[in-house]
Amino acid sequence: MSDANGRAVVMLVEDDPDIRAITMLALMLDPTLEIMEVGCGRDAMRRLERAPPPDLMLIDNQLPDMDGVSLAEAVGRRVSPTPLIAFITASVRADDQRRYRDVGAVAVIAKPFDPLCLAKQVRALLNR
For residue range 20-36, list pLDDT tens digits in order. Answer: 999 999 999 999 999 99
Whole-angstrom distance, CA of residue 48 vs CA of residue 110? 25
The torsion angles phi and psi of 79, rounded to 5 degrees, stand at -115, 130
Domain 8-126 -> CATH class: alpha beta
Helix (H, G, I), strand (E, B) or coil at 127: coil
For residue range 74-98, list pLDDT tens digits in order. Answer: 999 999 999 999 999 999 999 999 9
The torsion angles phi and psi of 11, rounded to 5 degrees, stand at -105, 125
Segments making up each domain of the chain, as ranges: 8-126
- As beta bridge partners, residue 9 has 34
CB 11 within 8 A of CB 47: yes
